[in-house]
Amino acid sequence: MAVLIELGIDEKVSIEKHSFDQLIGELRQAGIKVPSSGTLKAMNRQRVIIKHYGQPSEDLSAFQYFQSCSRSVDSILKDVFGKTLQEINQSEYLREGPARNHVEKALEYLNSSNLWDCICEIRKAIFIEIEVDYDVKKFADPKSKRAFGLVSRGWKAPYFARSSSWISENVRNVFEYVQIDYSEVNSSLLQWSVNTEDFWNLRRLTPHVYQDEDTKAWCIERSAQKINYALNRENVNYCVDTGINILVRKQRHQQVSRYTGNNSKFRVLINSEKVAVRQKADLLSDIIGYVYKNREYDVAEVVPGFDGDKEFARVFHMDGWNLSSLITGYVDIDECTLRDNFD
């Protein structure tokens, strides 16, 4: 029906109440070849019998119908839209970016029956969109900015894995820099409405990949098990479909999320010679540092104190990437001048 609408047939013929066989007939009259049309009609009749009369479906029959249906749908869509169903899903729903580029390559390899490169490209897309959040490589260097949580890569990894000593003792190859937090992943997948087992199946059937953050070079695991047992057309088709579905659902979830801008901030000018930076929004809280007169500092927000009588500016300030200059804590608003107006 979607193809007939695309061809404008619905403007000439009322197709809303057409039967399945009549829809196929309209496609043929429009000059569209329908491969295995007899099998498709038989499948529809079998569907009616199963649905209305309770006849059980044999697994082999269902599989053969599915195969015939997939070939027929791809042929029809290729004739009308110039793309298969996989290509339409990918091109219409995945946003532009590195992950989509790898999916496009995977589909090209699939069409040319280059199955190994196909599943490698799908896994690369999954790495970029999901696994990169569990990459702990930069935590191996205790002096890295990553070790202070100032950049995002690896922030979802288990806490114990974000340690230079743990990495030194436990990471034996580059692929083990990816330290998955299973509960975190499953929680994210459920938020995206993804079957969690599909994700784990995809990881089991595809080789481990790793992209270095600095050089952008890819490393790919050559697993004899995956080459010999997982590398067949059925498994590869499953990986491609599953990978695209996961990426689409994740990106749809992100599209409905709303955030305030991250570039807006207040600044305060310190009025007194030396003002205490406190751990909490309370004058009795521990002093964790100081700010000084006639200097300006970045402020994330202004909050009331616990007693309700005073306000505090939450300072979060650092000069460039000089970690020794990092200041974070609460400053009495009466000791400074807010440089930006709330209005």
Give the per-residue pLDDT at 82. 84
Q: Contact 340/266 with Cβ under 8 angstroms?
A: yes
- Among residues 128, 41, 116, 36, which one has the least CA distance to residue 73? 36
Give the per-residue pLDDT at 301. 87
pLDDT, tens only, 99-136: 999 998 998 898 899 999 999 999 999 999 999 999 99
Give the per-residue pLDDT at 340. 63
Give the span between the Cα atoms of 210 and 217, in whole angstroms.
8
Q: Is 216 left (phi over 0), alpha (psi -120 to 50) or beta?
A: left
Give the per-residue pLDDT at 279. 93
Give the span between the Cα atoms of 336 and 214, in whole angstroms.
41
Q: Which residue has the tokens 């599909």?
A: 198
Q: Which residues contact 15 (CB under 8 A, 6 or more apart)?
A: 1, 4, 5, 9, 22, 23, 26
Number of Cβ within a 10 Å radius of residue 236? 23
Q: Contact 185/199 with Cβ under 8 angstroms?
A: yes
Residues of the chain with pLDDT under 50: 147, 149, 341-343
SS (H, E, C) the chain: CHHHHHCCHHHCCCCCCCCHHHHHHHHHHCCCCCCCHHHHHHHHHHHHHHHHHCCCCCHHHHHHHHHHHHHHHHHHHHHHHCCCHHHHHHHHHCCCCHHHHHHHHHHHHHHCCCHHHHHHHHHHHHHHHCHHHHECHHHHCCCCHHHHCCCCCCCCCCHHHCCHHHHHHHCCCHHHHECCCHHHHHHHHHHCCCCHHHHHHHHHHCCCEEECCCCCCEEECCCHHHHHHHCCHHHHHHHHHHHHHHHHHHHHHHHCCCCCCCCCCEEEEECCCEEEEECCCCCCCCEEEEEECCCEEEEEEEEECCCCCCEEEEEEECCCCCHHHCEEEEEEHHHEEECCCCC
Give the span between the Cα atoms of 204 and 208, in whole angstroms.
9
Give the per-residue pLDDT at 342. 44
Sheet order of strands, 311-317 included: 287-292, 274-278, 327-332, 311-317, 296-304, 266-270, 336-338
Handedness of CA 136, 140, 146, 148 (dihedral sign): positive
Give the span between the Cα atoms of 193 and 208, in whole angstroms.
24
